[in-house]
């Protein structure tokens, strides 16, 4: 038997670890099989840089390029001992020269530039060498147009490097800013812990921010905050879950799923990059052949229903909702969360999706079917955070030249005190403005309720379509009935006079085409409805992807310019019979 007394003289025990969260003793081979996650309580143990790279990258694919990097003692700093001694100690302890590495690798054969910090090297603090590794990785990613993955774990700035450490925040940030300008993907994996100068610079600037359950991420430490405000902080403060809830992260994924998640994002972006490099029809060629019924452009071909009946169908509890339709319409969908400002609003769902070989950004209001789903998604009524998340994802789409598809199904924007305090009007107006000049094709389909400005905030698009039994209105029929007819029970009458149905809106030019539904409504055959929606989106994108940016924006401008303009605005004949 090996003698632990001789094999473990300078290292902590490697046989049994005590979980810091649940205090269980875990055998190291069991921990290894579980990727460093406590099998008793799911606590994610911190990983060394080498372990992290081994988990994420293809075996033997990492080619390090940081061999010449080493911390620099620019201040000739001495505290209780010279900084150079401290560096030597850290190098001996970790086997690393700089505390961070960068290089190239592959994940499921997809190329990626990787940089990573090791927390064991002076707390992963941001030295000039750490900043250099991140910056060089960003520059290499830019030069080769290869996605960048940075894995952070840091207590903050490296005091012993003074302002040189501080300047790394600017240096790394400007490097990743160039990636954003040039549309090169930057994924930031924030691991436990990521604080201070790292969290307040490049690490929170990724196109996609990913973390693991329970990882601590923040600017100031919780003790400092607690003492400052003299209040006990809530459970889970500054954990990845807390940040996700507050709109600061896209994805919190258990360690076992991380590699697959990153791989999927790389794959979607590889398709987008291929399209970018082949502009001559290449993008449209990535679309699949449509299989559902073609969209209808002649109002006479649409079954005429009583408008109030349409309203009931649009609100039917079994009507396919945004996420149902995404499942039927797209070949793959990966949700991205957060507005990076205040909160995560589940009333608007967004993310990257694949349609054939084409990568698109999808956004829409989600309602759900059950009481708990409806409450979780606030009945599809977005708060300002939802619209701000939407705008963040629209900018993401623009950065990577991804077409945008929006699916509208909302009674309206949420009318609440907090929503007003946080600028509901501003959020909606900014969303409309951003969409009006977004330099990528946009297709919108109103799939259920199209409730006023809350709907239009996602519908200022090149092509605006509507499902046959959806409705779109400046106000709810009930609201109009109360205000104009002074009688809430006159909602059916209001629905009729507001001209909110698909054939009417098609005739008015508000809609470009109508997506057919099964005879008794989409709820009777969600799959068929989804197929028709898919066909309509493909047809719209096929046309729009042929247009250059200037043509696209000019046509979008004209599309909305004509409403209400004399001679351009179609006028409907009066309603005959009783109203």
- Can you give the binding site for other proteins, defined by CB under 8 A? 1-5, 8-18, 20, 24-25, 27-33, 35-36, 39, 45-48, 50-52, 54-55, 80-81, 86, 89-90, 93, 118-120, 122-123, 125, 154-160, 192-193, 195-196, 221, 223-224, 227-228
Measured CA to CA, the distance from residue 458 to residue 448 in angstroms comes to: 14
Q: Name the one residue in this structure whose structure tokens are 């007819």.
A: 485
Q: 123 vs 530, which CB is nearer to other proteins?
A: 123
Measured CA to CA, the distance from residue 358 to residue 307 in angstroms comes to: 37
Q: How far is the CB of 27 from other proteins (least distance, A)?
A: 4
Structure tokens at 225: 């905050």
Q: 12 vs 300, which CB is nearer to other proteins?
A: 12
Q: How far is the CB of 355 from other proteins (least distance, A)?
A: 37
Measured CA to CA, the distance from residue 358 to residue 284 in angstroms comes to: 8
Structure tokens at 82: 């010279």
Q: 12 vs 417, which CB is nearer to other proteins?
A: 12
CA dihedral (542, 548, 554, 556) in degrees, to 10, reads 30
Half-sphere exposure of 105 (CA within 13 A, CB side): 26
Report, in this order, helix, strand and coil percent for the chain, each rounded to 5: 45, 20, 40
Q: How far is the CB of 251 from other proteins (least distance, A)?
A: 21
Q: How far is the CB of 73 from other proteins (least distance, A)?
A: 14
Q: Helix 526-544 and helix 322-329: axis angle, to 10°? A: 70
Q: How far is the CB of 61 from other proteins (least distance, A)?
A: 15
Q: 42 vs 55, which CB is nearer to other proteins?
A: 55
Q: 62 vs 119, which CB is nearer to other proteins?
A: 119
Q: 168 vs 452, which CB is nearer to other proteins?
A: 168
Terminal CA-CA length for the chain: 93
Structure tokens at 523: 């709820």
Residues in the chain, overall count = 579
Q: How far is the CB of 138 from other proteins (least distance, A)?
A: 23
Measured CA to CA, the distance from residue 503 to residue 304 in angstroms comes to: 8
Q: How many other CB atoms sit within 10 Å of the CB of residue 335?
A: 15
Q: Helix 255-276 and helix 49-56: axis angle, to 10°? A: 60
State the DSSP H helix or E strand holding residue 360, giving kind and residue range, or none if neither.
strand 358-365
C-alpha distances in Å from residue 145, one per residue of 140, 272, 404: 8, 12, 22
Q: How far is the CB of 168 from other proteins (least distance, A)?
A: 13
Q: Which residues pair with 278 in a beta bridge?
A: none
Q: Phi/psi class of residue 263: alpha, beta or left (left: φ > 0; alpha: ψ in -120 to 50)?
A: alpha
Q: Which residues pair with 332 in a beta bridge?
A: 354
Is the sign of the CA dihedral 55, 22, 252, 66 positive or negative? negative
Pairing of strands 208-211, 251-252: parallel
Which residues, 6 or more positions from 354, have their beta carbon under 8 angstroms from its beta carbon?
Answer: 268, 271, 330, 331, 332, 333, 360
On the 0-12 / 13-18 / 19+ scale of CB atoms within 10 A, 284 is: middle
Measured CA to CA, the distance from residue 296 to residue 411 in angstroms comes to: 25
Q: How far is the CB of 193 from other proteins (least distance, A)?
A: 8
State the DSSP H helix or E strand holding residue 32, giving kind and residue range, or none if neither.
helix 28-33
Measured CA to CA, the distance from residue 401 to residue 361 in angstroms comes to: 10
Q: How far is the CB of 68 from other proteins (least distance, A)?
A: 24
Pairing of strands 348-355, 358-365: antiparallel
Q: 77 vs 560, which CB is nearer to other proteins?
A: 77
* The Cα angle at residue 237 between residues 232 and 241, in degrees rounded to 5: 155
Q: 119 vs 387, which CB is nearer to other proteins?
A: 119
What string of DSSP letters covers 52-63?
A: HHHHHSPTT--E
- Asked whether 536 and 470 are in contact (CB, 8 A), the reply is no
Structure tokens at 517: 């539904």
């Amino acid at each position: 038997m090996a003698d632990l007394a001789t094999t473990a003289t300078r290292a902590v025990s490697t046989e049994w670890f005590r979980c810091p969260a649940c205090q269980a003793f875990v055998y190291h081979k069991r921990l290894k099989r579980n990727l460093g996650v406590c099998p008793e309580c799911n606590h994610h143990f911190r990983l060394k840089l080498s372990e992290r790279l081994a988990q994420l990258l293809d075996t033997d694919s990492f080619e390090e390029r940081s061999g010449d990097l080493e911390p620099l003692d620019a201040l000739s700093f001495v505290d209780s001992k010279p900084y150079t001694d401290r560096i030597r100690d850290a190098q001996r302890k970790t086997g690393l020269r700089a505390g961070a590495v960068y290089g190239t690798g592959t994940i499921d054969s997809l190329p990626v530039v990787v940089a990573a910090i090791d927390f064991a090297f002076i707390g992963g603090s941001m030295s000039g060498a750490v900043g250099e590794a991140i910056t060089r990785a960003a520059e290499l990613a830019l030069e080769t147009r290869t996605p960048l993955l940075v894995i952070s774990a840091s207590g903050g700035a490296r005091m012993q490097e003074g302002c040189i450490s501080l300047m790394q925040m600017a240096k790394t940030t400007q490097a990743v800013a160039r990636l954003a300008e040039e549309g090169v993907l930057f994924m930031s994996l924030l691991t436990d812990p990521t604080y201070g100068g790292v969290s307040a610079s490049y690490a929170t600037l990724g196109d996609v921010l990913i973390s693991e359950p329970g990882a601590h991420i923040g600017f100031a430490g919780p003790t400092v905050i607690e003492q400052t405000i003299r209040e006990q902080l809530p459970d889970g403060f500054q954990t990845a879950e807390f940040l996700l809830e507050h709109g600061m992260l896209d994805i919190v994924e258990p360690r076992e799923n991380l590699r697959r998640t990153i791989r999927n994002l790389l794959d979607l972006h590889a398709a987008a990059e291929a399209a970018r490099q082949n502009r001559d029809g290449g993008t449209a060629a990535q679309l699949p052949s449509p299989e559902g019924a073609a969209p209808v452009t002649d109002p006479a071909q649409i079954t005429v229903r009583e408008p109030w009946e349409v309203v009931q169908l649009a609100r039917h509890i079994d009507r396919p909702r945004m996420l149902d339709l995404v499942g039927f319409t797209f070949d793959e969908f990966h949700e991205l969360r957060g507005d990076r400002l205040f909160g995560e609003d589940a009333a608007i769902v967004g993310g990257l999706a694949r349609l054939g070989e084409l990568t698109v950004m999808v956004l829409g209001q989600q309602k759900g079917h059950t009481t708990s789903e409806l409450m979780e998604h606030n009945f599809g009524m977005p708060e300002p955070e939802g619209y701000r998340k939407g705008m963040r994802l629209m900018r993401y789409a623009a950065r990577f030249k991804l077409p945008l598809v929006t699916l509208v199904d909302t009674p309206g924007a949420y009318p609440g005190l907090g929503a007003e305090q946080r600028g509901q009007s501003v959020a909606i107006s900014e969303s409309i403005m951003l969409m009006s000049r977004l330099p990528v094709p946009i297709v919108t389909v109103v799939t259920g309720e199209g409730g006023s400005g809350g709907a239009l905030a996602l519908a200022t698009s090149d092509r605006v379509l509507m499902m046959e039994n959806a409705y779109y209105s400046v106000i709810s029929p009930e609201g109009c009935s109360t205000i104009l007819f002074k009688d809430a029970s006159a909602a059916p009458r209001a629905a009729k006079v507001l001209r909110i149905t698909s054939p009417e809106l098609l005739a008015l030019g508000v809609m470009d085409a109508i997506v057919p539904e099964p005879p008794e409504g989409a709820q009777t055959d969600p799959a068929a409805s989804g197929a028709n929606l898919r066909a309509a989106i493909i047809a719209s994108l096929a046309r729009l992807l042929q247009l250059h940016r200037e043509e696209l924006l000019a046509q979008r401008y004209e599309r909305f310019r004509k409403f209400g303009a004399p001679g351009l605005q179609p006028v409907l004949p009066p309603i005959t019979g009783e109203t």
